Chains A and B, each alone.
Chain A
Amino acid sequence: MPSCESIQARLSAHLDQELTQQEHQRIDVHLRECPTCRALYDDLARQRACIKKLPFPQPSDQEWRILMTKMGIQGPRALGWLLWIGGAVVLAGYALFEFATDPGIDAVQRVTVLAVLLGMVLVFLTVFGERLAGLKHDKYKDIEK
């Protein structure tokens, strides 16, 4: 006969029907013969049934309706962002090209404006690089969003 200690270590999994058929049978036999383990098993079963009744909060109907509405607009919003950013990039590129090649603009003005733009790009790239480096050392970096 298996020891009570070895049976008690498996009672939780037995309760959850997570053992092999052979193990379940072995524990069932022991429970029929051992009042101590039987009492422990019954306690665990009662405990599990009560956890199901614990008053964990649930979202109200209104909260859930709002959440589902927000879910529904996610697709159109993503498309909106894509169109907005894509359009802005194309437009900015076209404007920059026109500005850089327009013979009517003074060379000093052209260099000054391009320098400002170049500066902005450099700042953006360095901040972006810094964020990337930070991510490499982030212990949650593998977390799937």
Chain B
Amino acid sequence: MEHEKAEAAAGQLLEAVGREAFAYAWQLLRHREDALDAVQAAMVATWRHRNRLRAERNSRGWFYRVLRNQCLDRLRARAAHPAAALDTDLADRAAREPIDDVVGHESIERLRLAFETLPDPMREILLLRDFHDLAYAEIAEALEVPVGTVMSRLHRARALLRERLLANE
């Protein structure tokens, strides 16, 4: 019974976050195949630890922590054996998938350019909060930092992004 509950909880979690977590892995790795590989490894690890997962208060945060560690492993391997060409930024995808609203497209394009100039930790935390909708406690779990750090880092990230947007006007 407990085992079935754990399987159901892990299944729901992976269904809810698995596919969209790819954006986070891609943001860290900037390589499509590596990002898919990291997501798969994180999903396998989550499934393997499904019994423990039930005890976690922030199961989404836990999943993102596992995924982040998988990405860090790949970054470390890449540093040791640099070979793969990295995706440059979001522009490729933006070009493939035009946004219908022209006005919206312009402001999103400006935001995209400003977002790309942010330091990695700031992009990462903005992505977790504003794109993946993680709560502060979940982000703290994912990044293994206190909630207060999440709060202050997000504040700084948003302020810097706004500053860069205003500078580009």
Contacts and interface: CB of A to CB of B under 8 A. Distances in A.
B162 interface: yes
Interface in B23-56: 23, 26-27, 32, 35-36, 39-41, 43-45, 47
Interface string B99-142: 10000100110011001000000000011011100011000000
B111 A50 contact: yes
Interface of B: 19-20, 22-23, 26-27, 32, 35-36, 39-41, 43-45, 47, 65-66, 69-70, 72-73, 76, 87, 90, 93-94, 97, 99, 104, 107-108, 111-112, 115, 126-127, 129-131, 135-136, 151, 154-155, 158-159, 161-162, 165
Given A57-B87, A140-B76, 10 more contacts: A12-B159, A47-B165, A53-B104, A54-B111, A55-B90, A58-B20, A64-B19, A74-B47, A140-B72, A144-B65
B93 A59 contact: no
Interface pairs A-B: 5 shortest CB-CB:
A56-B23, A51-B130, A12-B155, A143-B69, A55-B94
A104 B75 CA distance: 57
B76 A53 contact: no
Contacts of B161: 47
Interface in A12-70: 12-13, 16, 18, 40, 43-44, 47-48, 50-59, 63-64, 67, 70
A140 B73 contact: yes
B107 A50 contact: yes
Q: Which of A12, A13, A54, A144 has the most CB of B within 10 A?
A: A54
A74 B41 CA distance: 10
Contacts of A136: none
Nearest to B66: A144
